[in-house]
Structure 1
């Protein structure tokens, strides 16, 4: 985006209001971008990190109030965490995380200083389903302790990881909660059907988990329901070869249908059956090794 590099209003040392090439107001963010500036001054383009176009009056006011009310060090903290996450994950994160994470960190640190520690009900799921993002959350806790002298529990690392995951996928927090709970429900069906505990470090488990993440998003969006049901000629062969895995998949099919009114087609049943058979075979193989 091309910017008319002129300050219209200073929000804080790290953010100012300017205009884009179409004379639409934008918020320009960058470390020290508003320091010692006044209205009408030029913006140092080399300091620009993010640009937010102001289009919705309600959201605009919320954003401006956030930038004016929250101390600058929280934006700097947020930018450090986001930059580290983007580098480690090898992808850009949605712009919304600059606001949502900053607001969350500001409120969370304030709560901790008052002795209020919130438990994260999805701590186990986030740690196991999103290990890379959770590790970034743990790294963020070290940064927070170093800069703010506040030591936080792993629950907070999971909250930070949630913001990163949501920003990665372009979802909102409600979709994240629903997707994570759905994946856990499907894993529980498999776990209780075969009476096993998963090896979360297993290659087959991690591959199954990746499949379930995308599967859950399709269910919640209902996207495949708009298409004709796909028939797969391999399914009869697979269900005869992997009888137990197929029966387990049928239980998942019933659960998804009853809970989300989503009907699995043959192709999805096929893939679920194969994934489940591989995960269970891997567990049984490990059990066999441990007998000797």
Structure 2
């Protein structure tokens, strides 16, 4: 049983759950002719939105009051589909960021003002699973709304998904994508080889770089703990460590940050693995 605390519009109301946390209820006519302290009709509840903070809940309230209901319904369906097939924890903020983005993209398509995605090639390469989910999302939008968005939007959706996985923002995700591409180019130039993009070690390296990029742009660091192991890695894999130093110099020059010994060690190990193949 949910007591209404605020009416957003005919289809959205605020309430609280059994833990006393503020939530938003969605359903056709759930707020029609209702007022605060009325009980929401459970038969009308289609979706319960629970956000991790008051500010996020306020943003969601503002969003649902300003974009078409069908956009919210379709975007929620897309996010639930992503959660089901991706099997990864996503930041609830995706209900705000992706819904806002897709509603705007649908409106831009109507006005013939669609954006090109300058990072589409990199996104397809580095975030393959998330990109496939982006393509699924485009199919859902076409099926539900009759709107045919460009493939570029699948790339933008993929960035929003990775953003929700890493708990960062879309601007940082674009920087991380460029960072990964630059590090791969430095690596290929140093070893003078092409990397096996189908290998497990390559996939692990990309994953490492994603989380490394997240730490870099959120000003987080990995603590230096095992100095003996770091010294052993530096000595045993001296060629790979030199490549890590080139990458470190690039980071210092471009982002004015320096890798810790622990980061250098992890980077060296990944470089060794992907070049052994």
1:166–1:29 Cα change, 3 Å: farther
8 Å contact from structure 2 (residues 7, 31) kept in 1: no
> How far 1:42 moved relative to its partner?
1.6
Q: Decide whether the 8 Å contact of 1:186 with 1:252 is kept in 2.
A: yes
Q: Which entry has the higher C-alpha Rg, 1 or 2?
A: 1
Gaps of 5+ in 2: none
Q: Identify if the C-alpha distance between structure 1 residues 238 and 277 changes in structure 2 by more than 3 Å, giving closer, same or farther.
A: same
Distance verdict in 2 for CA 1:234–1:27, change over 3 Å: closer
Is 1:279 equivalent to 2:274 in the alignment? yes
Give the 3 Å change call, closer, same or farther, for CA 44–152 of structure 1 in structure 2: same
- Structure 1 stretch displaced more, 144-153 or 29-38: 29-38
- The alignment partner of 2:227 has SS state of coil
Q: Deviations over 1:266-292 (max 9, x none)?
A: 33222212211221221xxxxxxxxxx
How many residue pairs get matched?
274
- The equivalent position to 1:198 in structure 2, one of 195, 198, 201, is 195
What's the RMSD between the two structures over aligned residues?
2.9
Counterpart of 1:106 (choices 99, 103, 106) is: 103
Deviations 1:213-241 (A, max 9, x none): 1222222233338x5x4453244544454
Pair 1:233-2:228 in alignment? yes
Any conservation in 1 of the 2:8–2:61 contact (CA below 8 Å)?
no
Unaligned runs of 5+ in 1: 283-292
- Correspondence for 2:83: 86
Which position in structure 1 is the counterpart of 2:50? 51
* Residue of structure 2 in register with 1:6 after alignment: 4
Deviation, 1:252, is 1.0
Q: After the TM superposition, which residues 230-269 of structure 1 pair with which residues of structure 2 at under 5 Å, given as runs? A: 230=225, 232-269=227-264
The Cα of 1:155 is off from its aligned counterpart by: 0.8
1:97 paired residue among 94, 98, 115: 94
Contact persistence 1:5–1:45 (CA under 8 A) = no
Q: String of CA shifts for 1:25-53, please: whole Å, max 9, x gaps.
A: x4513343726552254214573521358
TM-score by length of 1: 0.81
